[in-house]
Structure 1
Amino acid sequence: MRLSCAVVSYHNDPEQIAEVLRSVASTPMDIALYLVDNSGNDQLAAVAQEFGAHYIHRPDNPGFGVAHNLAIAAALEQGVDYHVVLNPDISFGPEVLPALSAYMEQHRDIGLIMPDIRYPDGSRQHLCKLLPHPVDLTVRRFLPGLYRLSGRLEHYEMRGGDYDRVMEVPALSGCFMFLRSSVLKQVGGFDERFFMYLEDVDLSRRVGRVARTVYFPGVSITHAYQKGSYKNSALLLRHIRSAVQYFGKWGWLFDAERVAVNRRALNNLQHGAELPAASGSLLDRKP
Protein backbone atom coordinates (compact mmCIF):
# COMPACT_ATOMS: atom_id res chain seq x y z
CA MET A 1 0.00 0.00 0.00
CA ARG A 2 1.37 3.40 -1.02
CA LEU A 3 0.03 6.74 0.12
CA SER A 4 0.45 10.32 -1.07
CA CYS A 5 -0.66 13.64 0.45
CA ALA A 6 -0.90 17.09 -1.08
CA VAL A 7 -1.27 20.63 0.26
CA VAL A 8 -2.03 23.69 -1.88
CA SER A 9 -0.87 27.04 -0.50
CA TYR A 10 -1.52 30.63 -1.45
CA HIS A 11 0.58 33.05 0.60
CA ASN A 12 0.06 31.02 3.77
CA ASP A 13 2.29 31.62 6.75
CA PRO A 14 5.36 29.34 6.55
CA GLU A 15 4.77 28.07 10.10
CA GLN A 16 1.21 27.10 9.22
CA ILE A 17 2.49 25.10 6.25
CA ALA A 18 5.21 23.58 8.43
CA GLU A 19 2.52 22.41 10.87
CA VAL A 20 0.53 20.47 8.30
CA LEU A 21 3.66 19.02 6.71
CA ARG A 22 4.90 18.08 10.18
CA SER A 23 1.65 16.22 10.78
CA VAL A 24 2.20 14.14 7.66
CA ALA A 25 5.89 13.59 8.41
CA SER A 26 5.05 12.31 11.90
CA THR A 27 3.06 9.44 10.41
CA PRO A 28 4.83 6.05 10.60
CA MET A 29 4.22 5.33 6.93
CA ASP A 30 6.10 5.85 3.68
CA ILE A 31 4.26 8.83 2.17
CA ALA A 32 4.85 10.85 -0.99
CA LEU A 33 4.25 14.44 0.08
CA TYR A 34 3.49 17.34 -2.28
CA LEU A 35 3.32 21.07 -1.67
CA VAL A 36 1.82 23.02 -4.56
CA ASP A 37 2.52 26.71 -3.99
CA ASN A 38 0.31 29.18 -5.84
CA SER A 39 2.05 32.14 -4.18
CA GLY A 40 3.87 34.85 -6.09
CA ASN A 41 7.13 34.05 -4.27
CA ASP A 42 8.85 30.76 -3.47
CA GLN A 43 9.60 31.26 0.22
CA LEU A 44 7.85 27.96 1.00
CA ALA A 45 10.43 25.99 -1.00
CA ALA A 46 12.64 25.80 2.10
CA VAL A 47 9.72 24.51 4.19
CA ALA A 48 8.98 21.82 1.62
CA GLN A 49 12.64 20.79 1.58
CA GLU A 50 12.71 20.54 5.38
CA PHE A 51 9.95 17.92 5.34
CA GLY A 52 10.96 16.11 2.17
CA ALA A 53 7.97 17.36 0.16
CA HIS A 54 7.94 17.66 -3.61
CA TYR A 55 7.65 21.40 -4.25
CA ILE A 56 5.62 22.62 -7.24
CA HIS A 57 5.57 26.39 -7.72
CA ARG A 58 2.71 27.96 -9.69
CA PRO A 59 3.02 31.75 -9.21
CA ASP A 60 0.28 32.25 -11.82
CA ASN A 61 -2.19 30.90 -9.19
CA PRO A 62 -4.27 28.58 -11.40
CA GLY A 63 -6.71 27.81 -8.57
CA PHE A 64 -7.27 25.19 -5.88
CA GLY A 65 -8.51 22.39 -8.14
CA VAL A 66 -5.90 22.84 -10.86
CA ALA A 67 -3.10 22.89 -8.29
CA HIS A 68 -4.35 19.77 -6.54
CA ASN A 69 -4.72 18.01 -9.88
CA LEU A 70 -1.01 18.57 -10.52
CA ALA A 71 -0.20 16.65 -7.35
CA ILE A 72 -2.86 14.01 -8.05
CA ALA A 73 -1.40 13.35 -11.52
CA ALA A 74 2.13 13.06 -10.13
CA ALA A 75 0.98 10.75 -7.32
CA LEU A 76 -1.02 8.47 -9.61
CA GLU A 77 2.00 8.14 -11.89
CA GLN A 78 3.86 6.71 -8.89
CA GLY A 79 1.18 4.05 -8.45
CA VAL A 80 -0.13 5.09 -5.03
CA ASP A 81 -3.16 3.29 -3.63
CA TYR A 82 -4.54 6.32 -1.78
CA HIS A 83 -4.23 10.08 -2.11
CA VAL A 84 -5.06 12.64 0.57
CA VAL A 85 -6.13 16.23 -0.14
CA LEU A 86 -5.16 18.49 2.77
CA ASN A 87 -5.91 22.11 3.60
CA PRO A 88 -3.04 24.29 4.83
CA ASP A 89 -4.90 25.04 8.09
CA ILE A 90 -5.09 21.52 9.53
CA SER A 91 -2.99 19.40 11.88
CA PHE A 92 -3.28 15.85 13.16
CA GLY A 93 -1.52 13.12 15.08
CA PRO A 94 0.48 10.14 13.78
CA GLU A 95 -2.46 7.76 14.26
CA VAL A 96 -4.77 9.42 11.73
CA LEU A 97 -3.47 8.26 8.34
CA PRO A 98 -2.79 4.65 9.44
CA ALA A 99 -6.29 4.36 10.90
CA LEU A 100 -7.95 5.71 7.75
CA SER A 101 -5.76 3.51 5.54
CA ALA A 102 -6.71 0.43 7.56
CA TYR A 103 -10.42 1.24 7.36
CA MET A 104 -10.23 1.76 3.60
CA GLU A 105 -8.37 -1.54 3.21
CA GLN A 106 -11.15 -3.29 5.14
CA HIS A 107 -13.95 -1.62 3.13
CA ARG A 108 -12.98 -1.80 -0.50
CA ASP A 109 -16.19 -0.19 -1.73
CA ILE A 110 -15.39 3.15 -0.07
CA GLY A 111 -13.94 5.71 -2.47
CA LEU A 112 -13.69 8.73 -0.17
CA ILE A 113 -13.45 9.08 3.59
CA MET A 114 -13.24 12.02 6.00
CA PRO A 115 -12.34 11.88 9.73
CA ASP A 116 -13.90 13.72 12.66
CA ILE A 117 -12.93 17.38 12.39
CA ARG A 118 -12.47 19.72 15.36
CA TYR A 119 -11.87 23.42 15.96
CA PRO A 120 -8.64 24.30 17.79
CA ASP A 121 -10.67 24.54 21.03
CA GLY A 122 -11.74 20.91 20.62
CA SER A 123 -15.36 21.54 19.64
CA ARG A 124 -16.74 19.62 16.69
CA GLN A 125 -17.16 20.97 13.18
CA HIS A 126 -20.31 19.70 11.49
CA LEU A 127 -18.91 19.21 8.01
CA CYS A 128 -21.06 16.27 6.92
CA LYS A 129 -23.47 17.76 4.41
CA LEU A 130 -26.22 16.89 2.00
CA LEU A 131 -25.88 17.88 -1.64
CA PRO A 132 -26.80 21.57 -1.57
CA HIS A 133 -29.93 23.23 -2.90
CA PRO A 134 -29.53 26.90 -3.99
CA VAL A 135 -31.59 27.91 -0.94
CA ASP A 136 -29.07 26.24 1.38
CA LEU A 137 -26.12 28.21 0.08
CA THR A 138 -27.96 31.52 -0.26
CA VAL A 139 -29.84 31.69 3.05
CA ARG A 140 -27.05 30.02 5.04
CA ARG A 141 -24.58 32.67 3.84
CA PHE A 142 -26.70 35.84 3.91
CA LEU A 143 -29.39 35.06 6.53
CA PRO A 144 -27.65 32.64 8.91
CA GLY A 145 -29.97 33.37 11.85
CA LEU A 146 -33.08 32.61 9.81
CA TYR A 147 -31.42 29.52 8.37
CA ARG A 148 -30.64 28.20 11.84
CA LEU A 149 -34.10 28.98 13.24
CA SER A 150 -35.80 27.29 10.29
CA GLY A 151 -34.18 23.99 11.24
CA ARG A 152 -32.68 23.69 7.78
CA LEU A 153 -29.12 24.06 9.08
CA GLU A 154 -29.41 20.89 11.18
CA HIS A 155 -30.95 19.12 8.22
CA TYR A 156 -28.25 20.27 5.76
CA GLU A 157 -25.37 19.44 8.13
CA MET A 158 -26.91 16.04 8.94
CA ARG A 159 -27.03 16.81 12.66
CA GLY A 160 -29.90 14.36 12.99
CA GLY A 161 -27.26 11.67 12.65
CA ASP A 162 -24.76 10.57 15.25
CA TYR A 163 -21.40 12.22 14.60
CA ASP A 164 -19.86 9.58 16.87
CA ARG A 165 -20.77 6.85 14.39
CA VAL A 166 -19.71 6.05 10.85
CA MET A 167 -22.10 7.68 8.37
CA GLU A 168 -22.49 7.78 4.63
CA VAL A 169 -22.39 11.44 3.61
CA PRO A 170 -23.15 12.89 0.15
CA ALA A 171 -20.78 15.88 0.45
CA LEU A 172 -17.53 15.74 2.41
CA SER A 173 -15.27 18.70 3.18
CA GLY A 174 -12.28 19.45 0.99
CA CYS A 175 -10.18 20.30 4.04
CA PHE A 176 -9.34 16.58 4.35
CA MET A 177 -10.28 14.11 1.61
CA PHE A 178 -8.81 10.58 1.79
CA LEU A 179 -9.36 9.15 -1.70
CA ARG A 180 -8.91 5.72 -3.25
CA SER A 181 -6.66 6.10 -6.30
CA SER A 182 -8.57 3.63 -8.46
CA VAL A 183 -11.72 5.72 -7.93
CA LEU A 184 -9.83 8.94 -8.69
CA LYS A 185 -8.71 7.42 -11.98
CA GLN A 186 -12.30 6.49 -12.75
CA VAL A 187 -13.95 9.85 -11.99
CA GLY A 188 -11.01 12.19 -12.57
CA GLY A 189 -9.68 14.76 -10.12
CA PHE A 190 -11.15 18.15 -9.35
CA ASP A 191 -13.22 19.89 -12.00
CA GLU A 192 -10.85 22.69 -12.98
CA ARG A 193 -13.67 25.05 -13.89
CA PHE A 194 -14.06 25.71 -10.15
CA PHE A 195 -11.28 28.12 -9.17
CA MET A 196 -12.08 27.52 -5.50
CA TYR A 197 -15.17 26.62 -3.43
CA LEU A 198 -17.63 23.78 -4.18
CA GLU A 199 -15.00 21.76 -6.01
CA ASP A 200 -15.08 19.40 -3.02
CA VAL A 201 -18.86 18.98 -3.26
CA ASP A 202 -18.54 18.32 -6.99
CA LEU A 203 -15.83 15.68 -6.45
CA SER A 204 -17.72 14.05 -3.57
CA ARG A 205 -20.75 13.79 -5.82
CA ARG A 206 -18.84 12.20 -8.68
CA VAL A 207 -17.14 9.73 -6.33
CA GLY A 208 -20.55 8.96 -4.82
CA ARG A 209 -21.78 7.73 -8.19
CA VAL A 210 -19.32 4.83 -8.19
CA ALA A 211 -18.33 4.24 -4.56
CA ARG A 212 -19.27 5.06 -0.98
CA THR A 213 -18.44 8.44 0.55
CA VAL A 214 -18.02 8.02 4.30
CA TYR A 215 -17.49 9.96 7.50
CA PHE A 216 -15.28 8.04 9.98
CA PRO A 217 -15.10 9.40 13.56
CA GLY A 218 -12.52 6.90 14.75
CA VAL A 219 -9.80 9.56 14.50
CA SER A 220 -9.89 13.37 14.67
CA ILE A 221 -8.01 16.22 13.06
CA THR A 222 -7.85 19.94 13.93
CA HIS A 223 -9.03 22.48 11.36
CA ALA A 224 -8.68 26.23 11.88
CA TYR A 225 -11.55 26.83 9.39
CA GLN A 226 -10.90 30.40 8.29
CA LYS A 227 -14.20 30.91 6.39
CA GLY A 228 -12.45 33.37 4.11
CA SER A 229 -15.52 34.23 2.02
CA TYR A 230 -17.23 35.53 5.18
CA LYS A 231 -14.45 38.08 5.68
CA ASN A 232 -13.21 38.96 2.20
CA SER A 233 -15.42 40.37 -0.55
CA ALA A 234 -13.18 39.03 -3.33
CA LEU A 235 -13.47 35.52 -1.90
CA LEU A 236 -17.21 35.97 -1.52
CA LEU A 237 -17.43 36.73 -5.24
CA ARG A 238 -15.36 33.61 -5.92
CA HIS A 239 -17.81 31.62 -3.80
CA ILE A 240 -20.83 33.02 -5.64
CA ARG A 241 -19.24 32.31 -9.01
CA SER A 242 -18.51 28.72 -7.99
CA ALA A 243 -22.09 28.28 -6.80
CA VAL A 244 -23.37 29.48 -10.18
CA GLN A 245 -21.01 27.04 -11.91
CA TYR A 246 -22.02 24.18 -9.63
CA PHE A 247 -25.76 24.59 -10.07
CA GLY A 248 -25.27 25.27 -13.77
CA LYS A 249 -23.54 21.91 -14.01
CA TRP A 250 -25.83 19.81 -11.80
CA GLY A 251 -29.16 21.65 -11.84
CA TRP A 252 -30.74 24.51 -9.94
CA LEU A 253 -34.25 23.85 -8.63
CA PHE A 254 -34.68 20.57 -10.49
CA ASP A 255 -32.01 17.99 -9.73
CA ALA A 256 -33.40 14.47 -9.47
CA GLU A 257 -30.06 12.97 -8.51
CA ARG A 258 -29.66 15.39 -5.60
CA VAL A 259 -33.11 14.47 -4.33
CA ALA A 260 -32.42 10.73 -4.58
CA VAL A 261 -28.98 10.88 -2.95
CA ASN A 262 -30.10 13.13 -0.09
CA ARG A 263 -33.22 11.09 0.56
CA ARG A 264 -31.23 7.89 0.84
CA ALA A 265 -28.65 9.49 3.15
CA LEU A 266 -31.36 10.83 5.44
CA ASN A 267 -33.21 7.51 5.36
CA ASN A 268 -30.03 5.79 6.53
CA LEU A 269 -29.75 8.26 9.42
CA GLN A 270 -33.39 7.96 10.39
CA HIS A 271 -33.19 4.20 10.65
CA GLY A 272 -29.75 4.18 12.25
CA ALA A 273 -28.48 2.02 9.43
CA GLU A 274 -25.02 0.56 9.76
CA LEU A 275 -22.88 0.74 6.66
CA PRO A 276 -23.86 -2.24 4.51
CA ALA A 277 -21.26 -4.76 3.47
CA ALA A 278 -22.48 -4.83 -0.13
CA SER A 279 -20.83 -2.65 -2.74
CA GLY A 280 -22.60 0.34 -4.20
CA SER A 281 -23.17 4.03 -3.74
CA LEU A 282 -25.87 6.16 -2.18
CA LEU A 283 -27.23 6.67 -5.68
CA ASP A 284 -27.72 3.07 -6.78
CA ARG A 285 -28.45 1.05 -3.60
CA LYS A 286 -32.03 0.11 -2.91
CA PRO A 287 -33.60 0.82 0.52
Structure 2
Amino acid sequence: MKEPLLTASLVVYHNAKEDIKKVIDSFLGYGSKSVLFIIDNSANDSLKVLCDNSRVVYVFNDKNIGFGAAHNIAFNKAYQLESEYHILLNPDVYFKPSIIKDLIHKAASDLSIGLLMPKVIYPNGNTQHLCKLIPSPKDLILRRFIPFKGMKKRLENRYELRFFSYDEEAEIPVLSGCFMMIRTSILKTVNGFDDRFFMYLEDVDLCRRVSGVSRLVYYPKVSIVHNYEKGSYKSKKLLSYHIQSAIKYFNKWGWFFDAERSKINHKTLLKLNYKK
Protein backbone atom coordinates (compact mmCIF):
# COMPACT_ATOMS: atom_id res chain seq x y z
CA MET A 1 0.00 0.00 0.00
CA LYS A 2 1.34 3.41 -0.99
CA GLU A 3 2.18 5.54 2.04
CA PRO A 4 -0.37 8.38 2.26
CA LEU A 5 0.59 11.97 2.97
CA LEU A 6 -0.20 12.77 6.59
CA THR A 7 -0.59 16.26 8.02
CA ALA A 8 -1.20 17.38 11.59
CA SER A 9 -1.90 20.58 13.45
CA LEU A 10 -0.85 21.74 16.89
CA VAL A 11 -2.12 25.00 18.36
CA VAL A 12 0.13 26.45 21.07
CA TYR A 13 -0.22 29.29 23.55
CA HIS A 14 2.73 29.94 25.89
CA ASN A 15 3.12 26.22 26.53
CA ALA A 16 6.18 24.72 28.19
CA LYS A 17 8.87 23.97 25.60
CA GLU A 18 9.51 20.49 26.98
CA ASP A 19 5.82 19.61 26.44
CA ILE A 20 5.79 20.90 22.87
CA LYS A 21 9.00 19.03 22.09
CA LYS A 22 7.36 15.79 23.24
CA VAL A 23 4.46 16.28 20.82
CA ILE A 24 6.74 17.22 17.93
CA ASP A 25 9.03 14.23 18.50
CA SER A 26 6.04 11.88 18.78
CA PHE A 27 4.62 13.01 15.45
CA LEU A 28 7.84 13.37 13.46
CA GLY A 29 8.87 9.87 14.47
CA TYR A 30 6.12 8.49 12.23
CA GLY A 31 7.75 8.88 8.82
CA SER A 32 8.95 11.13 6.05
CA LYS A 33 5.58 11.63 4.34
CA SER A 34 4.25 13.86 7.07
CA VAL A 35 3.99 17.58 7.78
CA LEU A 36 3.24 19.23 11.12
CA PHE A 37 1.71 22.71 11.25
CA ILE A 38 2.34 24.56 14.50
CA ILE A 39 0.02 27.53 14.89
CA ASP A 40 1.20 29.85 17.64
CA ASN A 41 -1.37 32.05 19.39
CA SER A 42 1.20 33.33 21.91
CA ALA A 43 2.14 36.97 22.40
CA ASN A 44 5.73 36.17 21.34
CA ASP A 45 7.39 33.60 19.08
CA SER A 46 9.70 32.04 21.66
CA LEU A 47 8.42 28.56 20.73
CA LYS A 48 9.69 28.94 17.17
CA VAL A 49 13.10 27.58 18.21
CA LEU A 50 11.52 24.12 18.43
CA CYS A 51 10.46 24.20 14.77
CA ASP A 52 13.81 23.60 13.07
CA ASN A 53 12.74 20.50 11.15
CA SER A 54 11.88 20.76 7.43
CA ARG A 55 8.63 18.89 8.08
CA VAL A 56 7.44 21.50 10.59
CA VAL A 57 5.65 24.62 9.34
CA TYR A 58 5.45 27.37 11.95
CA VAL A 59 2.77 30.10 11.82
CA PHE A 60 2.90 32.96 14.33
CA ASN A 61 -0.41 34.78 14.84
CA ASP A 62 0.87 37.40 17.34
CA LYS A 63 -2.45 37.13 19.21
CA ASN A 64 -4.80 34.50 20.58
CA ILE A 65 -7.37 33.96 17.82
CA GLY A 66 -8.85 30.89 19.52
CA PHE A 67 -8.36 27.14 19.29
CA GLY A 68 -10.66 26.37 16.36
CA ALA A 69 -9.70 29.39 14.26
CA ALA A 70 -6.01 28.55 14.66
CA HIS A 71 -6.52 24.93 13.63
CA ASN A 72 -8.47 26.14 10.59
CA ILE A 73 -5.31 27.90 9.37
CA ALA A 74 -3.55 24.52 9.41
CA PHE A 75 -6.52 22.77 7.81
CA ASN A 76 -6.38 25.13 4.83
CA LYS A 77 -2.69 24.34 4.38
CA ALA A 78 -3.46 20.61 4.58
CA TYR A 79 -6.09 20.96 1.84
CA GLN A 80 -3.50 22.65 -0.39
CA LEU A 81 -1.09 19.74 0.14
CA GLU A 82 -3.94 17.29 -0.52
CA SER A 83 -3.00 15.13 2.44
CA GLU A 84 -5.05 11.99 2.94
CA TYR A 85 -5.27 12.13 6.74
CA HIS A 86 -4.96 14.94 9.25
CA ILE A 87 -4.32 14.65 12.99
CA LEU A 88 -5.44 17.21 15.56
CA LEU A 89 -2.95 17.34 18.42
CA ASN A 90 -3.11 18.94 21.84
CA PRO A 91 0.07 20.47 23.31
CA ASP A 92 -0.19 18.11 26.30
CA VAL A 93 -0.11 14.73 24.53
CA TYR A 94 2.66 12.32 23.57
CA PHE A 95 2.72 8.84 22.07
CA LYS A 96 4.70 6.15 20.27
CA PRO A 97 4.98 7.17 16.60
CA SER A 98 4.00 3.64 15.55
CA ILE A 99 0.39 4.19 16.63
CA ILE A 100 -0.13 6.47 13.63
CA LYS A 101 0.54 3.61 11.23
CA ASP A 102 -2.05 1.49 13.08
CA LEU A 103 -4.66 4.27 12.90
CA ILE A 104 -4.06 4.80 9.18
CA HIS A 105 -4.31 1.05 8.56
CA LYS A 106 -7.64 0.98 10.43
CA ALA A 107 -9.03 3.92 8.46
CA ALA A 108 -7.82 2.47 5.16
CA SER A 109 -9.55 -0.84 5.92
CA ASP A 110 -12.98 0.82 6.30
CA LEU A 111 -13.84 3.82 4.14
CA SER A 112 -16.97 4.52 6.20
CA ILE A 113 -14.73 5.77 9.04
CA GLY A 114 -14.11 9.50 8.90
CA LEU A 115 -12.66 10.13 12.35
CA LEU A 116 -10.65 7.98 14.77
CA MET A 117 -9.57 8.50 18.37
CA PRO A 118 -7.21 6.09 20.16
CA LYS A 119 -7.44 5.16 23.81
CA VAL A 120 -6.34 8.10 25.96
CA ILE A 121 -4.56 7.52 29.26
CA TYR A 122 -3.11 9.61 32.07
CA PRO A 123 0.66 9.51 32.65
CA ASN A 124 0.00 6.99 35.47
CA GLY A 125 -1.70 4.62 33.02
CA ASN A 126 -5.31 5.19 34.09
CA THR A 127 -7.91 5.52 31.36
CA GLN A 128 -9.43 8.90 30.56
CA HIS A 129 -13.17 8.73 29.88
CA LEU A 130 -13.27 10.82 26.74
CA CYS A 131 -15.92 8.87 24.82
CA LYS A 132 -19.14 10.80 25.32
CA LEU A 133 -22.74 11.19 24.34
CA ILE A 134 -23.89 14.37 22.64
CA PRO A 135 -24.28 16.75 25.60
CA SER A 136 -27.51 18.22 26.88
CA PRO A 137 -27.60 21.30 29.14
CA LYS A 138 -28.10 18.90 32.06
CA ASP A 139 -24.94 16.98 31.20
CA LEU A 140 -22.79 20.10 31.16
CA ILE A 141 -24.38 22.17 33.92
CA LEU A 142 -25.30 19.58 36.56
CA ARG A 143 -22.02 17.68 36.23
CA ARG A 144 -20.08 20.87 36.78
CA PHE A 145 -22.04 22.42 39.63
CA ILE A 146 -24.19 19.78 41.35
CA PRO A 147 -23.07 19.19 44.98
CA PHE A 148 -24.54 15.67 45.26
CA LYS A 149 -21.84 13.09 44.59
CA GLY A 150 -24.23 10.21 43.94
CA MET A 151 -26.19 12.08 41.30
CA LYS A 152 -23.01 13.42 39.73
CA LYS A 153 -21.60 9.89 39.52
CA ARG A 154 -24.76 8.60 37.80
CA LEU A 155 -24.64 11.46 35.28
CA GLU A 156 -20.96 10.83 34.52
CA ASN A 157 -21.54 7.08 34.20
CA ARG A 158 -24.05 7.71 31.41
CA TYR A 159 -22.64 10.81 29.71
CA GLU A 160 -18.98 9.69 29.71
CA LEU A 161 -19.98 6.08 28.97
CA ARG A 162 -18.12 4.88 32.04
CA PHE A 163 -20.26 1.72 32.11
CA PHE A 164 -18.72 0.70 28.77
CA SER A 165 -15.40 -1.13 28.52
CA TYR A 166 -12.88 1.36 27.21
CA ASP A 167 -10.94 -1.61 25.85
CA GLU A 168 -13.58 -2.24 23.16
CA GLU A 169 -13.76 -0.64 19.75
CA ALA A 170 -17.03 1.25 19.26
CA GLU A 171 -18.80 3.90 17.24
CA ILE A 172 -19.10 6.91 19.57
CA PRO A 173 -20.97 10.19 18.90
CA VAL A 174 -18.44 12.53 20.55
CA LEU A 175 -14.68 11.98 20.73
CA SER A 176 -12.06 14.28 22.23
CA GLY A 177 -10.16 16.92 20.30
CA CYS A 178 -6.99 16.15 22.28
CA PHE A 179 -6.13 13.66 19.51
CA MET A 180 -8.28 13.03 16.44
CA MET A 181 -7.28 11.53 13.12
CA ILE A 182 -9.65 12.66 10.36
CA ARG A 183 -9.75 12.05 6.63
CA THR A 184 -8.70 15.39 5.18
CA SER A 185 -11.46 15.16 2.57
CA ILE A 186 -14.05 14.85 5.37
CA LEU A 187 -12.51 17.80 7.20
CA LYS A 188 -12.84 19.86 4.03
CA THR A 189 -16.43 18.69 3.46
CA VAL A 190 -17.56 19.94 6.90
CA ASN A 191 -15.43 23.10 6.58
CA GLY A 192 -13.27 22.50 9.66
CA PHE A 193 -14.02 24.03 13.02
CA ASP A 194 -16.75 26.57 13.61
CA ASP A 195 -14.47 29.38 14.77
CA ARG A 196 -17.27 31.08 16.71
CA PHE A 197 -16.17 28.73 19.51
CA PHE A 198 -13.10 30.46 20.93
CA MET A 199 -12.29 27.54 23.23
CA TYR A 200 -14.26 24.45 24.40
CA LEU A 201 -17.04 22.48 22.65
CA GLU A 202 -15.55 23.09 19.21
CA ASP A 203 -14.67 19.38 19.10
CA VAL A 204 -18.24 18.41 20.05
CA ASP A 205 -19.59 20.62 17.28
CA LEU A 206 -17.09 19.14 14.80
CA CYS A 207 -18.03 15.58 15.78
CA ARG A 208 -21.70 16.28 15.14
CA ARG A 209 -21.00 17.59 11.67
CA VAL A 210 -18.54 14.81 10.80
CA SER A 211 -21.08 12.19 11.97
CA GLY A 212 -23.46 13.49 9.32
CA VAL A 213 -21.16 12.26 6.54
CA SER A 214 -19.11 9.42 8.10
CA ARG A 215 -18.55 7.26 11.17
CA LEU A 216 -16.66 8.25 14.34
CA VAL A 217 -14.77 5.32 15.83
CA TYR A 218 -13.00 4.85 19.16
CA TYR A 219 -10.02 2.58 18.54
CA PRO A 220 -8.41 1.37 21.80
CA LYS A 221 -5.89 -1.01 20.26
CA VAL A 222 -3.45 1.89 20.42
CA SER A 223 -3.14 4.63 23.01
CA ILE A 224 -1.72 8.08 23.71
CA VAL A 225 -0.81 9.85 26.95
CA HIS A 226 -2.66 13.06 27.79
CA ASN A 227 -1.81 15.36 30.69
CA TYR A 228 -5.47 16.28 31.15
CA GLU A 229 -5.68 19.38 33.35
CA LYS A 230 -9.42 20.28 33.24
CA GLY A 231 -8.45 23.94 33.18
CA SER A 232 -11.99 25.32 33.47
CA TYR A 233 -12.27 23.65 36.89
CA LYS A 234 -9.31 25.70 38.15
CA SER A 235 -9.52 29.02 36.30
CA LYS A 236 -12.43 31.47 36.37
CA LYS A 237 -11.32 32.84 32.99
CA LEU A 238 -11.36 29.39 31.39
CA LEU A 239 -14.69 28.63 33.06
CA SER A 240 -16.05 31.80 31.46
CA TYR A 241 -14.85 30.59 28.03
CA HIS A 242 -16.51 27.23 28.71
CA ILE A 243 -19.85 28.82 29.61
CA GLN A 244 -19.75 31.14 26.58
CA SER A 245 -19.06 28.20 24.28
CA ALA A 246 -21.86 26.14 25.87
CA ILE A 247 -24.33 28.96 25.20
CA LYS A 248 -23.19 29.20 21.56
CA TYR A 249 -23.35 25.44 21.18
CA PHE A 250 -26.91 25.07 22.50
CA ASN A 251 -28.05 28.13 20.58
CA LYS A 252 -26.78 26.39 17.44
CA TRP A 253 -28.00 22.84 18.04
CA GLY A 254 -30.89 23.23 20.47
CA TRP A 255 -31.22 23.48 24.20
CA PHE A 256 -33.86 21.10 25.57
CA PHE A 257 -35.35 20.08 22.22
CA ASP A 258 -32.78 18.43 19.99
CA ALA A 259 -34.34 15.44 18.20
CA GLU A 260 -31.08 14.40 16.56
CA ARG A 261 -29.27 14.37 19.91
CA SER A 262 -31.97 12.21 21.49
CA LYS A 263 -31.97 9.75 18.58
CA ILE A 264 -28.17 9.36 18.41
CA ASN A 265 -27.71 9.08 22.17
CA HIS A 266 -30.51 6.52 22.49
CA LYS A 267 -29.03 4.43 19.69
CA THR A 268 -25.56 4.60 21.27
CA LEU A 269 -26.77 3.55 24.72
CA LEU A 270 -28.68 0.61 23.25
CA LYS A 271 -25.68 -0.54 21.24
CA LEU A 272 -23.40 -0.33 24.29
CA ASN A 273 -25.94 -2.16 26.52
CA TYR A 274 -26.46 0.67 28.99
CA LYS A 275 -28.46 -0.24 32.09
CA LYS A 276 -29.58 2.36 34.64
What is the TM-score of this pair, normalised by structure 1? 0.91
Taking the aligned partners of 2:55 and 2:241, their CA distance within structure 1 comes to: 33
* Map of 1:131 onto structure 2: 134
The percentage of counterpart residues that share the same residue type is 47
Match among 215, 220, 223 for residue 218 of structure 2: 215
Matched, 1:70 2:73: yes
Aligned-pair Cα RMSD in Å: 1.4
Matched, 1:168 2:166: no
Counterparts of 1:1-287 in structure 2, within 5 Å, are 1-50=4-53, 52-143=55-146, 145-146=148-149, 149=152, 151-270=154-273
User: Which consecutive unaligned segments of at least 5 residues does structure 2 have?
Assistant: none
More deviation, 215-224/155-164 = 155-164
Taking the aligned partners of 1:100 and 1:182, their CA distance within structure 2 comes to: 16
Look up the SS of the partner of 2:71 in the other structure.
Answer: helix
Taking the aligned partners of 1:206 and 1:20, their CA distance within structure 2 comes to: 27
More deviation, 227-236/136-145 = 136-145
AA of the residue aligned to 1:76 = Y
Any conservation in 2 of the 1:196–1:242 contact (CA below 8 Å)? Answer: yes
Taking the aligned partners of 1:61 and 1:71, their CA distance within structure 2 comes to: 15
Residue 76 (structure 1) shift: 1.0
Any conservation in 2 of the 1:8–1:67 contact (CA below 8 Å)? Answer: yes
AA of the residue aligned to 1:59 = D
Residue 28 (structure 1) shift: 3.1
Deviation string, structure 1 residues 42-89 (Cα, Å, up to 9, x no partner): 011110124741000011211000000000100111000110000000
Look up the SS of the partner of 2:182 in the other structure.
Answer: strand
Aligned residues: 271
What is the TM-score of this pair, normalised by structure 2? 0.95
Look up the SS of the partner of 1:49 in the other structure.
Answer: coil
AA of the residue aligned to 2:23 = V
**Which 4+ runs in 1 deviate beyond 3 A?**
144-150
